[in-house]
């Protein structure tokens, strides 16, 4: 990972304030994100849809691990989290299990507690590194091929540097969106662990944002970072050389805004199909039906229309379920209401 090019960070005598510049683009993004969050909070889609939260969490884990070169597909990650066995490298499977457990506990942690940070790292890197749950004991050089692009601060400075960063984040009167981005950048610069720094930095930003607005606990920002991975590293390098994390703030805020826009788009699609889903649920009632029976009851002859506008939305929203979920294409497949859900 490319990080700010600096060979050493000297111990500071006064409270540290990370260097960053707020541009017009940053201010506009903060305003746009705040506005779109208000729309999402009104609809409360995350709280009303545990399946959406779970799916987003799985996407987040897959993307975060993929950034660190984990080769497992989204389907394989989903299977692991659902307790199924897959063919894959043991370390990669372990990474998935650890990440899922870490995210399960993450939202109960204190983002300003170094103790909680070490605990999160221990869970995340269990059986993957000998120094899980502890700050690194040696120096870390970050290379691009054979070229050294960053020498992280000496190991004996790490505890103090992390404490300074956490203290700044706790006390600074900075907008939470900006604060989380600055924290993420500075964390990567310090590179406090022997391994898992990228995962931890992204996860801790999620925690900081969650304490501001709860929807960030399930927002799959990392899927967009994965799609823009080259730019992610490029921006880190640019900030490194300029000793200012302003560009990194812009990059992450854009990813956050785009992720939120995806949620709004999904909600709008959901509103368009609500009438069809409601019709489907009225027909199903307390019985089980085959695809053919449902289409006949709805007076539909075009299977794709039934699938895309009625069946799949109802399944994705968690209102109906398959009677044979392990064999979705079974000729004996039928559908029924999920008893614990009530259509709203």
For residues 61 and 99, is the Cβ–Cβ distance under 8 A? Answer: yes
Taking the C-alpha atoms of residue 199 and residue 99, their distance in angstroms, rounded to an integer, is 9
Residues in CB range of 324: below 8 A, 6 or more apart: 330, 332, 333, 334
Taking the C-alpha atoms of residue 332 and residue 324, their distance in angstroms, rounded to an integer, is 8
Find the angle CA(251)-CA(252)-CA(257) to the nearest 5 degrees.
Answer: 100
Q: Is 232 annotated as a binding residue?
A: yes
In the predicted model, residues of the chain with pLDDT beneath 50 are 1-12, 42, 269-272, 340-344
Q: Is 57 annotated as a binding residue?
A: no
Question: Which pLDDT does position 339 carry in this prediction?
Answer: 65
Q: Is 141 annotated as a binding residue?
A: no
CA distances from 259 to 2, 25, 33, 314, 320 (A): 24, 17, 10, 23, 27
The 3-state DSSP class for residue 321 equals strand
Q: Is 200 annotated as a binding residue?
A: yes
Question: Which pLDDT does position 217 carry in this prediction?
Answer: 87
Q: Which residues pair with 150 in a beta bridge?
A: 142
Question: Which pLDDT does position 120 carry in this prediction?
Answer: 98
CB atoms within 10 A of CB 280: 25
For residue 141, the 8-state DSSP code is: E
Question: Which pLDDT does position 47 carry in this prediction?
Answer: 59
Q: Which residues are catalytic?
A: 191
Phi, psi of 321 (to 5 degrees): -145, 160
Residues in CB range of 15: below 8 A, 6 or more apart: 164, 167, 168, 171
Q: Is 195 annotated as a binding residue?
A: yes
**pLDDT by residue (tens digit) across 124-181?**
999 999 999 999 999 887 665 676 667 889 999 999 999 999 999 999 999 999 999 9
Question: Which pLDDT does position 335 carry in this prediction?
Answer: 94
Phi, psi of 129 (to 5 degrees): -150, 150
Taking the C-alpha atoms of residue 43 and residue 319, their distance in angstroms, rounded to an integer, is 18
**Global confidence as pTM:** 0.74
CA distances from 328 to 171, 268, 300 (A): 52, 27, 21
Taking the C-alpha atoms of residue 277 and residue 323, their distance in angstroms, rounded to an integer, is 18
Taking the C-alpha atoms of residue 45 and residue 47, their distance in angstroms, rounded to an integer, is 6
Question: Which pLDDT does position 48 carry in this prediction?
Answer: 61
Question: Which pLDDT does position 22 carry in this prediction?
Answer: 95
Q: Is 237 annotated as a binding residue?
A: no
Taking the C-alpha atoms of residue 64 and residue 222, their distance in angstroms, rounded to an integer, is 6
């Amino acid at each position: 990972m490319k990080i700010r090019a600096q060979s050493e960070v000297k111990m500071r005598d006064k409270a540290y304030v990370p260097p960053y510049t707020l541009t017009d683009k940053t201010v506009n993004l903060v305003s746009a994100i705040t506005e779109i969050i208000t729309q999402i909070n009104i609809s409360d889609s995350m709280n009303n849809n545990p399946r959406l939260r779970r799916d987003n969490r799985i996407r987040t884990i897959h993307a975060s691990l993929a950034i660190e070169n984990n080769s497992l597909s989204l389907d394989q990650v989903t299977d692991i989290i659902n307790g199924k066995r897959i063919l894959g490298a043991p370390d990669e499977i372990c990474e998935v299990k650890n990440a899922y457990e870490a995210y399960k506990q993450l939202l109960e942690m204190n983002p300003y507690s170094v103790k909680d940070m070490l605990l999160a790292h221990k869970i995340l890197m269990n059986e993957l590194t000998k120094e899980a749950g502890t700050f690194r004991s040696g120096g870390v050089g970050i290379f691009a091929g054979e070229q050294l692009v960053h020498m992280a601060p000496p190991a004996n400075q790490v505890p103090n540097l992390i404490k300074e960063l956490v203290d700044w984040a706790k006390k600074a009167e900075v907008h939470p969106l900006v604060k989380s981005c600055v924290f993420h950048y500075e964390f990567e610069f310090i590179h406090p662990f022997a391994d898992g720094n990228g995962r931890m930095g992204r996860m801790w930003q999620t925690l900081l944002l969650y304490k501001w607005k709860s929807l960030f606990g399930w927002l799959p920002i990392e899927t967009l970072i994965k799609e823009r991975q080259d730019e992610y590293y490029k921006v880190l390098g640019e900030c490194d050389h300029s000793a200012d994390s302003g560009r990194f703030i812009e990059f992450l805020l854009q990813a956050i805004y785009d992720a939120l826009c995806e949620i709004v788009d999904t909600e709008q699609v959901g509103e368009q199909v609500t009438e069809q889903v409601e019709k489907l649920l009225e027909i199903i009632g307390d019985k089980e039906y085959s695809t053919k029976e449902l289409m006949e009851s709805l007076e539909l002859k075009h299977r794709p229309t039934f699938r895309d506008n009625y069946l799949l939305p109802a399944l994705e929203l968690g209102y109906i379920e398959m009677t044979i979920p392990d064999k979705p294409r079974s000729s004996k497949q039928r559908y029924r209401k999920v008893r614990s859900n009530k259509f709203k």
